[in-house]
Structure 1
Amino acid sequence: MVTGREDTDARERDAVAAALTKAFAAARPELAVTPGLGRALADAVAAAARAWPGVSLPAVRFVAALAPRLAADRPVEAALAELCTGDLYLACACVDGDPRALAQFDRLLVPIVERAAGRRGATTSQQTELQQIVRERLLMPRPSAPEESHARIAEYSGRGSLRAWIRVVATRETLRLLGRPQREVPGDDEAIAALMPADAGPEVEHLKQRYREAFKLAFREAVAALTDRERVLLRQHALDGLSIDRLADFYKVHRSTTARWVEGARRAVLEQTRRALGRRLHVAAAELDSIMRLIDSRLDITLPTLLREPGEAPGGPGRRRSG
């Protein structure tokens, strides 16, 4: 005997199947629609959603993205079964900027990059840089190609696993990074000298000469104390030249949020530098404040050099603050 609830559920399933069939037909009008297609699509959507709990993607949107990826020379339901629909579901949600999808994508990406880079002798710092490069390559729109303004992950076909697709990009970027010649960059001494203007006055010049090593150690300590997010943000902004607006697009947040993040990371460098210099220089607080005002006004000139790490020093990059 069919209960009222079962009858309602059946009608709802039929309505969902009809809506998905309609979305599919609109995306691929040349393909024949079989009687069981709507249910097959509904099952594929449900299985994909179960694979990524919490990821939000409308079923009709997913089917509209899935339909163009089906092989035209195969029966529709057979072609559907050949796709990695769960991975495609995650990729589509990433294109739409769903925060949980992006977090899940990151969990896939990090170990893949670590393995690809580690096999080729990349340092920890280079692995972190590669993670950001691959993220940007796959998740950020390409402003240089307005006609292709979508993120590259929108091109994922679903015909192989998403992990394998990421691995190809990670391997290529690893070879590109480790194979390119290192650019000529100022040494530590030049970077520290750049923090102090030539006309800073005899007292500051005296400190600069007498405590050059203290300045150098203080900045190294300050950069090492950054959280991973602070370091990555500063590297993206100062080294890679990503504007606040591009960072906002990348992280799917308002530009004021990324501006606050970048400024917070910059402040963290200055505050840690002040503490480290205070421990080493033993000068009056007013004098230290004067030095820090000079450094603050010129930090952006030398920050790229302070952040660049062509290789790990003995003992690693130092302990970082949690966060």
Structure 2
Amino acid sequence: MTSPPAPLAARLRAELSPRTAALVDAVESLEALLERHVASARETWPGLTLDVPTFLQHLARHLPDENAPEVLRQLHASDLYLACACATGEEAALLGFEHHVLRRIPDRLHALPRDLVDEALQRLREQLLLGRDGVPAKISTYSGRGPLLAWVTISAARLASQLAGREGQHLAADKSAESYVQLLAPGDPELELLRKDSRAVVVEVLRKVLAALPGPERALLRLHHLHGYSMTQLATVFGESRSGVARRVLLARERLLKLTRTELASRLQLDDTQLESFLGLIRSRLDLSLSGLMV
């Protein structure tokens, strides 16, 4: 006779779809893992009153069907616990989020004008912490797959970039499609490989593949190419080693180029030699092209 499932594992499983529950059941020492997550969260945030069932329900909402065991093993449980408490409106959690997360953002975005960062943070407070018209606060969408500080930093950088664009501080935001392509290879004779009426297609393709990239990869490219973050600065933002974040940027760039090649091959009438030559131009001018396209 098998023993009944342990309390934490049973509570989590009850909130999951049958498919996800089956994946989670295969996690070795599941109960012990959940106990460590809960203990870590409570130790980090002893002043919060968020109860365990609410936390497990919140965790269950963020476990994906495909790789739930891996997400569960690598979960940033203390950060997710804080975010969940903030989503419920717990005052102590909101104060903890302000002191331990939001106040650290300006130092991480020191490459951006301080007034823009301050305005972005004020708007971010409203977006993340205030639910409206029955819609939960956006902080509830944080999944615990990466550090909460990095997640908020990226959101703040994106908002600051949008604010700067509205104020005309990023001239690239107003450039035409033709200008974007000129940025790829200004003055290079190989640019004539493309017919003039195809150049706007190239920009459309680049925008499409950028949108298709996974969010973390797009964020890395945005911070590196648009905001000029060095690998050292990116390592600080994401809480990783410099070599680790450098590998991630490289992989994101290569994914972008691979998707671009596939899309261009289906959209433009170029032979292999022409296509590879043009991709070489894109690669060599990637910093400039992304700075324009990612605003």
Q: TM-score, normalization: structure 1?
A: 0.46
Q: TM-score, normalization: structure 2?
A: 0.49
